[in-house]
Structure 1
Amino acid sequence: MVKIIIVNYNSGKWIARCLSSIHQAGLTDHTIIVDNASTDNSILFIEQNFPQADLIKLSSNLGFGQANNLGIKKAYEQGSDYVFLMNQDVYIEPNTIDCLISTAKLNPDFGILSPMHLNGNGSELDFSFSNYIVPLKCRKLYSDIFLQKLATLYEVSFVNAAAWLLTRKCIEKVGGFNPSFYHYGEDDNYCQRVLYHSLKIGVVPQSIIYHDRENRTENIYFDNTVLVHKRKLIKMFSDPFDNKQSISDVYINCLKTMVKSLITLKLKSFKEHFSRIIMYNSIDWKMILHNKEQSINKGKNFL
């Protein structure tokens, strides 16, 4: 059994096509939608047009990872063998998930399987996804595409969570997303944990999705340098493979740079590092290190 999990937030632009693609695959009644307190009409649309879907309405926005965790937990408790995480701006083909499941059955050492990501209209590869399958990160896929001799599965170390098939074995060994991450970075950490627990990550070229995210020029999580640095730090200190970094050393180095900038009158650098110092002091480091320790242990962590 497979369950599709979609985290919904103000998805009015995409949700009709997203759910229609699921309906065409005959999987609407296998779909769990977790709504992160949307303020548009997307919830009403879902209730009126796709009542077969299991809709979970949250009173506040928990972020991508924790909302997905609610869906993963419910799917697992209902006995699902596979969970397909799917962004609200993703559209599938009728055979997308069946192809992934068939590949997963033949490759039980893989915890995450991803389809190929095309852009919204299918005219080319999704640009960000294309960076995950370059030769240095995904051996032979590019050359096999050119030579028209595709294999059924290619191993990678990371692929973004816009369309993941998770196996039950993966959920039991790795668990859900680390709640240290609110939005972005959680899929990087999850892939690190999958590899840490001796499972593999793969791309299945015969399976396709359409990721409709072009022309989005503003994103506070990438435009705000303090938020970007905060996410970088949380990723660093949540990485199960990294035990060399010291929180105090990172803090002291930033403090030294801030003071040096002030002495040399580099005011732009001073303001940036001053903001980082304030940000460091606002982070719950005890919680982050606790979550890291929890993620190192095998089990249904964070669910």
Structure 2
Amino acid sequence: MKRVAVVVLNWNGWRDTLACIASLQKLNYPNFELIVVDNGSTDGSHAHIEAHFPGIKVLQTGFNLGFGGGCNAGIRRALERGADYVWLINSDATVDVNALTELVRVAEEQALVGAVGSVLYEADQPEQIQLWGGGKVHLGTGLSRHQTRPAQLDFVSGASMLLRREALEQVGLFDDQTFFMYWEDSDLGFRLRQGGWQLAVAEKSCVWHKLSASLGKGSRQLDVYFTQSGVRFLRRYSPVPAVSVFMMVGRMLMKRVLTAEFGRARSVLDGYLRA
């Protein structure tokens, strides 16, 4: 039975993380260890987590490294401990008892698969599919779409992503120097495919996920990070970056202006200028 390290990244969200850990402890996969990473929280998260789960020693980064940087801290610890696979699962998610077993089964059946995603459902609408494993990116227009039905993927979502050790050793971890938050999973998906690895979805791996729980839907800071990372991603991969960046930023600005969200429009511009 392959050894799996399950990495949960917490940032000022210990209540969600406790629920996530509780669901992970019910997994029926027999050979996994749990690595909880605290990404520089200021709400006493590590103390709350360790108090509720005395067997867990939280790995503390000391300050906020961003999503990719925080996950990388857990991935490195997992690889040091000899994990064959690393499962990244968002702290604002809960999982089905079979979720990890199904992820590993799909990976073991397909030796060229470097990353496997789950089917994510809305936490407040448990039957509603939020995301089918990951998404697609149209490099010409800068449009990134999450899939909600079976399709060939360009990337697997970092909300639930099983990564093969050999694939990580070949292409590297998240690029946390370029992407502080958002688009880092898209970048990793593109690098995996460029390296000859395939992406897959375990249809019976079910996860219930709160969308944008860390920053909140409609957050201005979300707009800054999403735009900044999106521009950097398109400049790296788009055949004509000037056009795709213009179209992506233009769509975001128009949407916010039409809904009179002028503060969020300024955040989009700020993200573009920071890129």
Structure 1 partner of 2:201: 203
Deviations 1:16-74 (A, max 9, x none): 21010111126897111111111124222211122323421122100000111111111
Aligned residues: percent identity? 24
Q: Does 1:237 align with 2:229?
A: no
Query: CA, structure 1 residues 65+131, in 2 after alignment: closer, same or farther (shift >3 Å)?
Result: closer
Query: CA, structure 1 residues 76+222, in 2 after alignment: closer, same or farther (shift >3 Å)?
Result: same
Q: Does 1:64 align with 2:71?
A: no
Asked if the contact 1:37/1:60 (under 8 Å) is kept, the reply is yes
Asked if the contact 1:28/1:53 (under 8 Å) is kept, the reply is no
Report the number of matched residues.
242
Q: Does 1:76 align with 2:79?
A: yes
- Report the Cα distance in structure 2 between the residues aligned to 1:15 and 1:137, rounded to whole angstroms: 24
Matched position secondary structure for 2:199? strand
Structure 1 or 2: more helix by fraction: 1
TM-score, length-scaled by structure 1:
0.69
Structure 2 partner of 1:19: 21
Structure 1, gaps ≥5 residues long: 142-153, 255-267, 284-303
Matched position secondary structure for 1:38? coil
Structure 2 partner of 1:188: 186
The residue correspondences of 1:42-121 to structure 2 (distance < 5 A) are 42-121=45-124
Q: How much has 1:124 moved relative to structure 2? A: 2.4
- Report the Cα distance in structure 1 between the residues aligned to 2:117 and 2:68, rounded to whole angstroms: 18
Match of 1:174 among 161, 171, 174: 171
Deviations 1:161-216 (A, max 9, x none): 10000011211122100121001111111111111111111111111111123884
Asked if the contact 1:110/1:199 (under 8 Å) is kept, the reply is yes
Residue type of the alignment partner of 2:220 = I
Matched position secondary structure for 1:30? strand
- Report the Cα distance in structure 1 between the residues aligned to 2:148 and 2:49, rounded to whole angstroms: 41
Structure 2, gaps ≥5 residues long: 137-144, 250-261
Q: How much has 1:138 moved relative to structure 2? A: 7.1
Higher-Rg member (1/2): 1
Deviations 1:135-157 (A, max 9, x none): x997983xxxxxxxxxxxx7422
Residue type of the alignment partner of 1:79 = G
- Report the Cα distance in structure 2 between the residues aligned to 1:72 and 1:59, rounded to whole angstroms: 16
Structure 1 partner of 2:141: none
Q: How much has 1:158 moved relative to structure 2? A: 2.4
- Report the Cα distance in structure 1 between the residues aligned to 2:122 and 2:181, rounded to whole angstroms: 22
Asked if the contact 1:137/1:156 (under 8 Å) is kept, the reply is no
- Report the Cα distance in structure 1 between the residues aligned to 2:207 and 2:134, rounded to whole angstroms: 16
Query: CA, structure 1 residues 126+40, in 2 after alignment: closer, same or farther (shift >3 Å)?
Result: farther
- Report the Cα distance in structure 1 between the residues aligned to 2:124 and 2:184, rounded to whole angstroms: 27
Structure 1 or 2: more strand by fraction: 2
Query: CA, structure 1 residues 193+155, in 2 after alignment: closer, same or farther (shift >3 Å)?
Result: same
Query: CA, structure 1 residues 214+228, in 2 after alignment: closer, same or farther (shift >3 Å)?
Result: closer
Query: CA, structure 1 residues 188+130, in 2 after alignment: closer, same or farther (shift >3 Å)?
Result: closer
TM-score, length-scaled by structure 2:
0.75
